Structure formats: C-alpha cells, structure tokens
Chains A and B, each alone.
Chain A
Amino acid sequence: MSEQITIEKSLRDWASRVKAGQVGALPAILGLLVLCIAFSSQSSVFLTPGNFANLLTQAAAITVIAMGLVFVLLLGEIDLSAGYAAGVCGAILVIMITEMDYAWYLALPASILIGVVLGAFIGYLVAQLRIPSFVVTLATFLAFQGLLLLLVSEGGTIRIEDPTILAVQNKNLPVTASWIFFALTAGVYVLSGLWKFARRRKAGLVDNLFKFWLIKTAILVSLGCLATLALTVERSNNPDLVSLRGIPFVVPVILVLLVGATFVLSRTSFGLHLYAVGGNAEAARRAGINVKMVRISAFMICSGFAAVAGMIFVSRANSVSPTTGGSSTLLYAVGAAVIGGTSLFGGKGKVSDAILGGLVVAVIDNGMALLGYPAGIKFMVTGGVLLLSASIDAFSRRGATAT
C-alpha cells in the first residue's frame, strides 16, 4: 500500500517537474524512439545488429565532441572550433605515430595534452579578456583549419597503421569480454545508486525517488542487456572468412569518458561551480568561486574531449586529411548536445544528454541514408530537429521562470 503511494508520488513529482519545464532528456528519448520506429518500419536493414554496430561507430566521434561541448555550453558559452581542434589533435597523433615512430601510448596523451593547451588558450581569451566566445572560437575555427592544412599539407592524407588506434573503431570486444563488460557496467551503476540511497537513509533524509530510480535502472539495464545481445550476434556476411561479433571498442571508450565527466559534473565542487557560473556568474563570484578559472577549465576540458574525438576520427578513416573534423562535424556536435537537452543559455545539461543527442543525430543520418534520401534532405531534417529541440529548451525556460 505505502509502496504504491511512493511510486505514485514520485511519478507525480516527476510529472510536475516536466510541467514546470524541467523536461530534461524526455524529448530526446521520445524523438529517438519515434525515429527508430519510423526507420525500422521503412527499412529492413535499420534494425539489424550490423547496422546497430555501424550506428554506434558513426555516432562516436561527434558524441565525444558533444560531451566536451556540454562543459562549455553549461557556462552559456560556445566553442565553434572544437571540430577542427579534433582534426588538429588527430593530425598530431597520426604524425607522431606514422612519421615520428612514437608508440600510441605516448602519442595519444601528447595529442590530448595539445588539445588541452589549445583549450586553455581559448579559455584565457574568453575569461581574462572577456572577448565573446563566439568570436574567439570563430577565429580559432579558422586558425585551426589552417593549422590542420599545414600539418597534413593540402590535398594530402597521412595514413595510420598503428593497430591499437585502428582497433578503437574497427575491432570489437570478444563475446565473453562483451558480457563481462556489460555485467561490470550494470553492476557498478546499480551499486553506486544503491550506495547513494543508503547514505541518504543513514543521514535520515527522506526519499521519494527511490522507486522511480528502480524503474529507471531496470529499463536501462534491460536496454543494455538487449544491446549487448544484439552486438554479440554474428553480423559478418561471411562468418567463415571473418567473424564480426562483440561490442565495438569505441563503446567502452565513450563509457569511461561518460562516467568520468558525469562524476566531475555531479559529484565534485568543480562541477557545482560550473553550473553556478552558468546560472548566475555574479552570484558565483560573490560566493567566492574563481569564475575565471572555471571558465578556462571548461574550455580546456572541451578541447581535451575534442582531441579524443580526433583519435576516433582517424581510427575510423585510417588516416587524417585536411577535412578531418571539418564540414558539419562541429554543427552536428552542438546539435547533439542541444538535442539531448543541454541549454544554450547555460546552467542546464548533462554529459549523458550528449550521448542521447549524438544517437539522434546518427540515427537520422544513418536511417535517411538507408532509405536513399539525398544528403540535402538529411541536412534539412537534422536542422529541423535541432530547431525543434532549441524551441523546447526556450519554452521550458519560460515555463520554469513563470511563477
């Protein structure tokens, strides 16, 4: 009896939050669902394990950039150069490995470090000189594009043959390892959640969200289980020649980034300060927060993520070219973050939003390509979806402030 009441109550709490404009990830989840149903009804290929694995690797790089962008967007700033930062860092990685013969475990941290330095430069200009981030990163967008061109030399590409880097986008975890990975992830997720609730109960604090959390966790774990199942099915056309089974390596890479970034944002004071600066920078300053440092760090983190995305790009393409991380990359990444529910006005958003949004963008891309639509239509639909989610964000802000 009492349990039913708490479920009802937590659902009611949640409903009232949605009504008050705190919709969070709901539109993205619904959108993803609608898109998946629509595409799978139109195309027989869409819902196959092979296409699912393909989708994940397609979404990976943009999702990682979007995850980094969340830190900057939380401050109400933007980084237009994150795409080319990925390109530059990818080029440095490839040059270090292919032309200078460094091992990947030296080259990868070096390229990420360079990304962080690029971010520090942008952050310094934004935080110290107070140049609008739009202008600073527009300038660095052009500059990084030029730098990439100089590094790779016009029209050329540099191949990468390092097996570890290539494995990230081209190889899969073995089947047993896939299941162990799933069990570990699910276990850690459930245990950390339970631990949090246990601590709250020990401190004598009331909780009406526990049942809600249970439902959410059950859904997430079964989805994860389903995805693992799909990915461990043989998806090679010719299994005797080459076997294609297991979770793509890029998935654990993204998951580690997700856990790390979520931990920083939701459990540390630095994360809280990021939200505070995005919500009310003046209040944050008066509370004794070093607003400048927070701003600079956000840009450093953003470009650091972009460097990881650069590695994912070169792994997928087996090479780096002057267009790596160019064309619509950055716009797709911003789109992914915003579609997932991150506010362009600052102060609202989660890293997991970027993953949801990244999936939405990739599903549109993938599904429409399968249905044979031309690229023009694809871009227009993606633009429409982005516009839709930005309007939801604007409306929810209005709903939240009207008291």
Chain B
Amino acid sequence: MATPILSLRQVNKSFGPVHVLKDVNFHAYAGKVTALVGDNGAGKSTLIKCIAGIYTPETGEFLFEGKKVTIAGPRDATALGIEIVYQDLALCDNLDIVHNMFLGREEKSGVTLNESHMESLAKKTLDGLSVRTVKSIRQKVASLSGGQRQTVAIARAVLWNSKVVILDEPTAALGVAQTEQVLKLVRQLADNGLAVIVISHNLNDVFQVADNIAAMYLGTMAAQVEKKSVSPSDVVKLITTGKSEAVSGTTK
C-alpha cells in the first residue's frame, strides 16, 4: 500500500478514569475511502474528534504526509487541510447555500463581501462534485432536502482545497435514493484525490463505497483491512467481538 496521507500511531485518550482510546493506530490514504466502523461506545467519535483537534490525546503520534505534526485545536486541523462534516451538518437554515459554504471564511473585497466571487467558487465546487440536483445556489438551506443538505455540508468541506474529509454518519438520516446520491458523492470525493474517512453503522453502505475498513472494538483498533480481503460477516465479527479468523493477527 502507498504511504498514508494521515497516520495515527499508538494514540491514547482518557476521560477521567475511562480509557476511551487504547493504543489506536489508524491510516487514511489519498484517493481512498476509509470506513470507520464499530459499535456504540467503541471510540469512533473520540478518534475523529482527536483528528479534528477537538480533543487532544494524551500520548500518540500524528503523521501528516509523512511528517510529524501536532494538532492542538480545530484551527490546526483546518490548516493542515482536514475538514469534518458533522452528523448534524451544522448548517444555518436561514442562509443560502453560498453563505453556508463560506460561513466564517467569507471572501471579501475591502470591507464588503465579494458575493459574485463566492458564488462562482461555490458553483465550481458543486459542479466539480457533479451535483446537479440543486435548483439555485442562492436558495435558503431550509428549503433543501436531507440529501441536498448533506451535499452542501460536504461541498463546504471540500471548498478549501482540503486533503482529508471526515464524514460522521453521512447517510444516517436519509432515504434510499438520497443515500445513493450521497454515497456517489463520497466516491466522487475520493476519485478527486481526497482522503475520505466515513463513520458508518450501515455495512451495506460501507461495502458499497469503502476501499479500506477500520473496525474498532472497545477502544482498540481491532483491524484496519482492505475491503476486498473481508466479507461483511467478518466485519460484523470484528465489530462485535474484536476478532475474526479471516483477518490475521486478530485471533490469538
């Protein structure tokens, strides 16, 4: 396998007496979709919050493009090109698509907002993601469907020439057609050369879209494997017991 764009080595994180991440290793590759699976409480959210700089792990190494880095806060993560799309999407319903995409990082000319520049950039990004379902990018987010909102949130994450995009349960609240649409978009992101990390509970989605699967079990990384080397039932075993005969090194 190629060198990962983002590597976490031996990461440990505790909340008081609770040891949430135990010597976790994790890798994300440019142009690949890495699915992060695991049961509730396995530590998935904590892991991505460490990557996004919201939590700081006690021990462990972060390697970004082969170089050692420290991520002490959300701004460090953004500066490296790591963007996160939260499950609740964090969109402002009362603003239009363009303003949501640029919120907090508006393009300005002098003191005024450079609306036309922002609109062109937003349009280019959405076109680059082959998004054609949105009628007008000046419509308010409140009027969008769940899948379209997810699209806007993802487009916002890739607007900044980001290199790693983390999606937290992107299809959890969506119907069948919209799930399909978002998964296609996730695939598109990886094909555009980004490293994509997807947290998901839905193994169907995972097997449809992922290249690699990282399974967590009670705060440890049970295994990170290529999708083609495992079957869904192997992954279920990894999630529920942390072991699978199909994956070497997980059974002792």
Contact = CB atoms under 8 A, between A and B. Distances in A.
Contacts of B144: 403
B172 interface: no
Contact of B95 (A276, A282, A401): A276
B120 interface: yes
Interface in A232-278: 267-269, 272-273, 275-276, 278
Contacts of B205: none
Interface in B66-99: 74-75, 86, 89-95, 99
Contact of B92 (A205, A279, A403): A279
B55 to A, nearest CB: 15
Given A205-B120, A269-B106, A275 B95 contact: yes
A403 B103 contact: no
Given A275-B92, A287-B103, A267 B143 contact: no
Contacts of A348: 94
Contacts of A125: none
Interface residues of B, number: 30
A280 interface: yes
A401 B75 CA distance: 33
A203 B116 contact: yes
Interface residues of A, number: 30
Interface string B128-155: 0000000000001011110000000000
B92 A289 contact: no
B17 to A, nearest CB: 29
B228 interface: no
B143 A283 contact: no
B94 A268 contact: no
Interface stretch (B36-44, B107-115, B229-237, B244-252): B107-115
B116 A279 contact: no
A280 B91 contact: yes
A284 B145 contact: no
Given A199-B116, A268-B112, A347-B92, A284 B103 contact: yes
Contact of A347 (B75, B91, B93, B145): B93
Contact of A286 (B86, B111, B120): B86
A268 B114 CA distance: 9
A272 B111 CA distance: 12
A280 B140 CA distance: 13
Nearest to A204: B120
Given A205-B119, A287-B104, A289-B103, A272 B94 contact: no
A288 B116 CA distance: 23
A200 interface: yes
B91 A267 contact: no
A202 B119 CA distance: 12
A20 interface: yes
B249 to A, nearest CB: 38
A283 B99 contact: no
B104 A20 contact: no
Interface in A278-319: 278-280, 282-284, 286-289
Contacts of B94: 275, 278-280, 347-348
Nearest to B107: A269
Nearest to B91: A283
Interface of B: 74-75, 86, 89-95, 99, 103-106, 108, 111-113, 115-117, 119-120, 123, 140, 142-145
29 contacts: A20-B143, A199-B116, A200-B119, A203-B116, A203-B117, A203-B120, A205-B116, A205-B120, A205-B123, A267-B111, A268-B111, A272-B95, A272-B103, A275-B94, A276-B99, A276-B103, A279-B95, A280-B90, A280-B93, A283-B91, A284-B104, A287-B90, A288-B74, A289-B103, A289-B104, A347-B93, A400-B93, A403-B144, A403-B145
